[in-house]
Amino acid sequence: MAPKHPPRAGRGDRDLEVNPIFTREPLTVPRYRLPAGEMEPSTAYQLVHDELMLDGNARLNLATFVSTWAEPEARLLMAECADKNMIDKDEYPRTAELELRCVHMLARLWNAEDPRRAVGCSTTGSSEASMLGGLALKRRWRERRRTAGEPADRPNLVMGVNVQICWEKFANYFEVEPRYVPMEGDRHHLGAREAVELCDENTIGVVAVLGSTFDGSYEPVADIAAALDDLQARTGLDVPIHVDGASGAMIAPFLDPDLLWDFRLPRVASINTSGHKYGLVMPGVGWALWRDEDALPDDLVFHVNYLGGDMPTFALNFSRPGAQVVAQYYNFLRLGFDGYRRVQQGCRDVATRLAAEIGRLGPYELLTGGDELPVFVFRVRGDAAGFTVYDVSAGLRELGWLVPAYSFPENRTDLDVLRVVVRNGLGHDLADLFMDGLHRVTSRLRSHEHAPRDPREDGGFAHGAEPKKVRARQV
């Protein structure tokens, strides 16, 4: 006679732990301390997933410069490389090779005199890359001063007040005096004459921005370089340029090839860009390049061997994800020069079209038109009383569109603007929907009596267009 119950395999009489499906979710889950015990993976996922539904829709975020769309193949490669640490070059030699290839591709794209001698690395973003560029400027200046027997304790850096907030951080963290050139009249970024007037023997460099976060405009890098050439001829002061090309360094090579801003100008010592902006990669990856070995001081390069082999490193971060570097190489391989040109031209076409249509609406006035970066800003006309840019931003947010409203910095704090950033993935169809939404918001604001929104109550994030704490010497 067969046994009533077959013998159990495994560990004796141990019962299976089965979570009842209808009572598996805890009654309370702490938000600001670790739970006392475990929960099912699916339960934890659902809790996090449900809360994240309250985030804005990234594709409708016209505030950020960061890529919000990628091809499925790029996402797949990133998922396959999610566990790779960029610093482990001995363990992941092919990932390290792809990083090196990207550096050489960028060196050629930015017209390095000898791309094989150009030095560069990936970073977590353009903020880290900018700080590396600033550190190299400071160390080179300090070495020159010490060699000449001069004091090297009061470095300064010249830049427009429109620079991204990372440059204020750099000056603060690395004890460099920031010398901001304020905006004046219709000049909303750094000018050549104004930059030179702030330079002296303690100036480590001038930061020129190729694509201001405030209005999308290019700063005149070639004019600044020429003015600094003239300064050296008159005074002997040799002041290098760092180009903050967070966005524009991945736009100008494809759409403005005759524009002189890169390593074709001998005074340009270093360039940074964001791979996760118009490099078309999901966040976060940036790139820092120097024209040659001489532009990157040796004392900024560290060598480690505990990961296997001799590994030089000169990024601020140590462990970094390799997935985004792989995605950058995928994009370079997938699109090539002509593919990038078509994508960036498509963005510019959408931006200039949107800007033109908004300019034809009665209450708005354009400050830029999206013909440099595919970014433009506009304001409410002075005679369109009754509502402000902050009201427009709040109304668009109700429809799902995130468009930042903010004021310009010194000396144009009188300018309150809205900014639209057009990225890959915002095509003409979505642009039509945005214009429909703007028409609806504008009509509603015009037809209703209401108290204008106080900008101090606006909780939006301006993505780099925050006012600087200008404590430094100005023009």
pLDDT digits (tens, 9 = 90+) for 370-379: 999 999 999 9
Position 397 pLDDT exceeds 90: yes
Closest by Cα among 174, 256, 179 to 217: 256
pLDDT at 13: 61
Q: What share of the chain has pLDDT > 90, as a percent?
A: 69
150 and 286 share one domain? yes
256 and 310 share one domain? yes
d(CA 437, CA 354): 13
For position 166, which CATH number holds? Answer: 3.40.640.10
The mean pLDDT value for 459-467 works out to 57
388 or 472, which is more confident: 388
261's tokens: 């801003």
pLDDT at 403: 97
> Is residue 463 situated within a structural domain?
no
pLDDT at 23: 62
User: Residue 312 — pLDDT band, cuts 50, 70, 90?
Assistant: low
Number of domains in the chain: 2
Which of 334, 359, 381 delimits the end of a domain? 334
330 and 368 share one domain? no
d(CA 260, CA 282): 29
187 and 213 share one domain? yes
> Is residue 469 situated within a structural domain?
no
Angle between helices 428-447 and 389-398 (to 10 degrees): 120
324 and 347 share one domain? no
138's tokens: 């400071």
What mean pLDDT value characterizes the chain? 89
pLDDT at 475: 45
Which of 313, 334, 355 delimits the end of a domain? 334
pLDDT at 38: 86
> Is residue 126 situated within a structural domain?
yes
Lowest mean pLDDT among 3-12, 44-53, 58-67, 228-237: 3-12
161 and 233 share one domain? yes
The Cα diameter of the chain in Å comes to 110
Lowest mean pLDDT among 312-316, 349-353, 389-393, 450-454: 450-454
Which of 268, 301, 334 delimits the end of a domain? 334
> Is residue 157 situated within a structural domain?
yes
Lowest mean pLDDT among 250-264, 307-321, 335-349, 389-403: 307-321
419 and 292 share one domain? no
Position 301 pLDDT exceeds 50: yes
93's tokens: 């030699």
Position 474 pLDDT exceeds 60: no
Instruction: Give, in order, the Cα–Cα distances in Å from 394 to each of 143, 429, 458.
Output: 51, 23, 8
384 or 104, which is more confident: 104
Position 4 pLDDT exceeds 60: no
Position 153 pLDDT exceeds 70: yes
344 and 324 share one domain? no
User: Residue 318 — pLDDT band, cuts 50, 70, 90?
Assistant: confident
Which residues have C-beta within 8 Å of that of residue 426, sequence separation ≥ 6?
59, 62, 347, 350
Yes or no: say if 85 and 320 are a contact pair by the CB < 8 Å rule.
Answer: yes
d(CA 347, CA 341): 10
For position 399, which CATH number holds? Answer: 3.90.1150.160
103 and 169 share one domain? yes
Position 25 pLDDT exceeds 90: no
- Give alpha helix (H) positions in 184-322: 192-197, 221-235, 252-255
User: Residue 42 — pLDDT band, cuts 50, 70, 90?
Assistant: confident
> Is residue 5 situated within a structural domain?
no
pLDDT at 86: 85
The mean pLDDT value for 142-157 works out to 96
Position 460 pLDDT exceeds 70: no
> Is residue 51 situated within a structural domain?
no
pLDDT digits (tens, 9 = 90+) for 71-114: 999 999 999 999 998 887 778 889 989 999 999 999 999 999 98
The mean pLDDT value for 131-138 works out to 96
Q: Please tell me the pTM assigned to this model.
A: 0.88
Yes or no: say if 315 and 121 are a contact pair by the CB < 8 Å rule.
Answer: yes
Say how many residues make up the chain: 475
User: Residue 455 — pLDDT band, cuts 50, 70, 90?
Assistant: low
209 and 184 share one domain? yes
d(CA 313, CA 369): 41
Instruction: Give, in order, the Cα–Cα distances in Å from 443 to each of 52, 251, 379, 438.
Output: 32, 35, 16, 8
User: Residue 447 — pLDDT band, cuts 50, 70, 90?
Assistant: confident
387 and 292 share one domain? no
Instruction: Give, in order, the Cα–Cα distances in Å from 231 to each of 120, 143, 197, 228.
Output: 29, 21, 9, 5
The mean pLDDT value for 208-232 works out to 97
Domain containing 379 equals: 338-445
Position 310 pLDDT exceeds 90: no
> Is residue 261 situated within a structural domain?
yes
393 and 408 share one domain? yes
pLDDT digits (tens, 9 = 90+) for 244-272: 999 999 999 999 999 999 999 999 999 99
* Sequence letter at residue 55: D
| 286-290: strand order across its sheet | 119-123, 286-290, 268-274, 241-244, 203-209, 156-160, 177-181
> Is residue 398 situated within a structural domain?
yes
